[in-house]
Structure 1
């Protein structure tokens, strides 16, 4: 008998006692590995470009495709959560993660590797909203700030150590070493979850609306694909591909949204946007996730191709910022519980504005210590914005809307990440092209690093603009009384 089975005591059926700590530990371990898998490969993108002879606009699909898959899956998570038990969803997600990791190890071309990443992303896409739903079920609103902060400490711990470990693995072996490293971690997580994961969901098994699933998939996919193609548009045909995919994506999401309001049991209840702090929190999360993911993919390229640093050193440079991000999220989870989000979120955006301005000035001669300081402050700013805005928005929702609110928030989060990465790479490519157009004479390896730096400057200018918009929105945020 496992720890999820009911037992007969004195002629009455009693359910086992729910143990929040082992349940959260199981989920956090799994999510940690999923996020590690997502972010660690960023350090190897330059190597993959060389091995498979692809450019930056193509290789970014290893990150964009991963995040997009999660974004497409999250709207379906609300239905999955009502059809499949917590324990089984956990097991299914780990199986996808393990399968994708094994396929990636044996990938022989870029397309095969991209397929492996999508399989991995399916596992992470199931696991992330599952963890959010479990938090909303297990913990009251006055404790969620700290619990969400703890979650962010673990979740951001993965991006913190991922560049360092990935850099060392690449130097010792190659980029496939990243996937070999994940195998024992996934095995441990799977066994730990089998022992400790419990079922906490009440299965209602609502009707599945295939039409909604179709339009949400086409909608989110079309929009992200259009932005991802910006950096590689060539000629009239390329422009028409962008316009067509963007148009199809927007129209599909409009149809999806209208349908949700007409259904008695919508796949995703969009009435959550009637709650002002939730809507504002979702907008803030969208913006901060866009800039956060752009930093995670631009920094390795700048350090390796702009400053010409080895992968291991580049990973070490990114480590302090990731650690401070997680610690800040944990500490200010307590502060949020006591004082609310207003001043925390605004301060975070002010920090981001200053740091992204400084990022637009970095050159190939910028010192490593300066880069570390700017990167650390940037990720502190992200932590100050992300967790308080998200938690405050979810806290305003009544219990019956919390599952849908989680799905909406997580969908926006991952679609924003995919769009942010796509826009960052596209803007970087445009900035590099502009630099080359103005360059005189042949481009040697030193000049090539300056081309990369010029592209990075342009991409961070976009992040600066988004941060300014985020600060303006944050002026309207206020604490939700619960």
Structure 2
């Protein structure tokens, strides 16, 4: 309800008529907020699920990991789905899949069924989330993309950020199964509303699905993401890490070559030949790499090196997360006022300063100091992501379906790699084992320096390739 009110207020402030296009976009954004919350809400229920099904944490975590993997696989399909099916069909299908997954999760008798239910949920989310961006780009005039992407980023960011806290409270009172029943109820109501409200349609056709491209895409996404995700728990194991990465890499190479060689590709990659789109995508991917890496190494440092508990670790990152979400909204507004180039330069500077300050952490660093310095880093991340994504899509605005699919897929894969590589770097710098000692403190500092160097590279990309006047680049 709060999300809906916020969106309505923004609509009327900007004097945008609430026509069938805006009504459809509102439903898509509300649905995206609900479905994105489902991604992280189960993390607080893992302990209860382990106890109920008598499984280990390694097994139970697949209710979260499987969701992320399926999201990565579904995103590249968004361009094909948008061209092939009606908007209303896409929305109702994704919500229905999510509803079925939620109900199945609620009644699941064992962990296998629960994981399958989460996969079904993720298929629905993987369809809807990227297509919401496509609908936004098609409904909203290009000169207002930054503003609405800011609103979209704020909503999509705050939902999964607050979901674990809200989910934890619900789980403590009525158990983890109730979470899925609540989601089922919300989505059911949304389906009924969508049946009446959604009337917007885009031009579609009998666009063929290249099955071989789909298979290669699945192998590439799953192989690369699974391999890098397994590094933290399995080192450089041949079966769990090396083999998936090799299979994923070769599949990606064949996938890319095939897309350039067939008449109706799964994803048209010609946008990558535009150097501004390429470097814009690279910028957002590097930013996402450092964000995902930080989300893993910071809790490791707080709990393992400074010997604080998990609750303290969460409290240190929570203010930074909320600040980043707010700046997800502020960043595009600033870009609309002063130009995207200045905003991205500020993003890089805040990021560089934040990561360099992290090099000053030690075993005696206070919680307050870590909170304040993490906020500086979070401002950089929040300022940069949505303006960069919006500018990158705008460079090739005539092909938003493929451009959105490329940009989102690259970020999803790079994010998975970033999470794993950050842990590996920190562990290697520490000599193989993290502990409450100076070596581990130094390892954290060295890893932070790597993040700062990536932010410097991002700054160079902005200076050389990000321009305020988009139409001069097309």
TM-score computed with the length of structure 1 as normaliser? 0.81
User: Corresponding residue for 2:432?
Assistant: 434
CA RMSD of aligned residues (A): 3.4
User: Could you tell me how far apart the structure 2 residues matched to 1:358 and 1:177 are?
Assistant: 42
SS of the residue corresponding to residue 435 of structure 1 reads coil
1:248-267 equivalences under 5 Å are: 248-267=247-266
User: Could you tell me how far apart the structure 2 residues matched to 1:103 and 1:452 are?
Assistant: 44
TM-score computed with the length of structure 2 as normaliser? 0.82
Shift in Å, 1:148 = 0.7
Sort the Cα spacing of 1:65 and 1:223 in 2 relative to 1 into closer, same or farther, 3 A.
same
Deviations 1:397-454, CA, capped at 9 Å, x for gaps: 141x221111111211222233333434555666788336xx7xxxxxxx7x999999
1:125-204 equivalences under 5 Å are: 125-172=126-173, 175-176=176-177, 178-204=179-205
User: Could you tell me how far apart the structure 2 residues matched to 1:49 and 1:191 are?
Assistant: 35
User: Corresponding residue for 1:7?
Assistant: none
User: Could you tell me how far apart the structure 1 residues matched to 2:98 and 2:363 are?
Assistant: 38
> Larger deviation: 414-423 or 119-128?
414-423
1:200-349 equivalences under 5 Å are: 200-233=201-234, 238-239=237-238, 241-296=240-295, 307-310=308-311, 318-349=317-348
User: Could you tell me how far apart the structure 1 residues matched to 2:99 and 2:331 are?
Assistant: 34
User: Corresponding residue for 1:8?
Assistant: none
Shift in Å, 1:265 = 1.9
Deviations 1:35-59, CA, capped at 9 Å, x for gaps: 2111333445577677755456x66
> Larger deviation: 145-154 or 348-357?
348-357
User: Could you tell me how far apart the structure 1 residues matched to 2:105 and 2:81 are?
Assistant: 26
Sort the Cα spacing of 1:92 and 1:456 in 2 relative to 1 into closer, same or farther, 3 A.
farther
Sort the Cα spacing of 1:25 and 1:362 in 2 relative to 1 into closer, same or farther, 3 A.
farther
Shift in Å, 1:172 = 4.1
Shift in Å, 1:308 = 1.7
User: Could you tell me how far apart the structure 1 residues matched to 2:395 and 2:232 are?
Assistant: 39
Sort the Cα spacing of 1:82 and 1:352 in 2 relative to 1 into closer, same or farther, 3 A.
same
Q: Is the 8 A contact 2:220 2:248 kept in 1?
A: yes
User: Could you tell me how far apart the structure 1 residues matched to 2:297 and 2:122 are?
Assistant: 21
Sort the Cα spacing of 1:207 and 1:130 in 2 relative to 1 into closer, same or farther, 3 A.
same
Sort the Cα spacing of 1:475 and 1:186 in 2 relative to 1 into closer, same or farther, 3 A.
same
Q: Is the 8 A contact 2:22 2:139 kept in 1?
A: no
Find out whether 1:369 has 2:368 as its counterpart. Answer: yes
Sort the Cα spacing of 1:260 and 1:309 in 2 relative to 1 into closer, same or farther, 3 A.
closer
User: Could you tell me how far apart the structure 2 residues matched to 1:265 and 1:220 are?
Assistant: 20
Sort the Cα spacing of 1:258 and 1:234 in 2 relative to 1 into closer, same or farther, 3 A.
closer
User: Could you tell me how far apart the structure 1 residues matched to 2:270 and 2:383 are?
Assistant: 27
> Larger deviation: 299-308 or 63-72?
299-308
Q: Is the 8 A contact 2:20 2:198 kept in 1?
A: no
Deviations 1:199-254, CA, capped at 9 Å, x for gaps: 3211112121111111111112111122122223368xx23553332222111111
> Larger deviation: 215-224 or 463-472?
463-472
User: Could you tell me how far apart the structure 1 residues matched to 2:232 and 2:374 are?
Assistant: 25
Q: Which runs of 5+ in 2 are unaligned?
A: 1-17
Shift in Å, 1:272 = 0.2
Sort the Cα spacing of 1:212 and 1:134 in 2 relative to 1 into closer, same or farther, 3 A.
same
User: Could you tell me how far apart the structure 2 residues matched to 1:41 and 1:384 are?
Assistant: 28
User: Could you tell me how far apart the structure 2 residues matched to 1:48 and 1:302 are?
Assistant: 27
User: Could you tell me how far apart the structure 2 residues matched to 1:450 and 1:105 are?
Assistant: 47
> Larger deviation: 123-132 or 242-251?
242-251
Q: Is the 8 A contact 2:24 2:200 kept in 1?
A: no
User: Could you tell me how far apart the structure 1 residues matched to 2:114 and 2:425 are?
Assistant: 25
Sort the Cα spacing of 1:459 and 1:267 in 2 relative to 1 into closer, same or farther, 3 A.
same
- How many residues are paired up? 450
Q: Which runs of 5+ in 1 are unaligned?
A: 1-16, 440-446
> Larger deviation: 419-428 or 132-141?
419-428
User: Could you tell me how far apart the structure 2 residues matched to 1:299 and 1:47 are?
Assistant: 25
User: Corresponding residue for 1:478?
Assistant: 467
User: Could you tell me how far apart the structure 1 residues matched to 2:188 and 2:442 are?
Assistant: 43
User: Could you tell me how far apart the structure 2 residues matched to 1:95 and 1:455 are?
Assistant: 47
1:26-45 equivalences under 5 Å are: 26-44=27-45
User: Could you tell me how far apart the structure 2 residues matched to 1:122 and 1:454 are?
Assistant: 42
SS of the residue corresponding to residue 191 of structure 1 reads helix
User: Could you tell me how far apart the structure 2 residues matched to 1:304 and 1:206 are?
Assistant: 51
User: Corresponding residue for 1:389?
Assistant: 388
User: Could you tell me how far apart the structure 2 residues matched to 1:46 and 1:196 are?
Assistant: 40
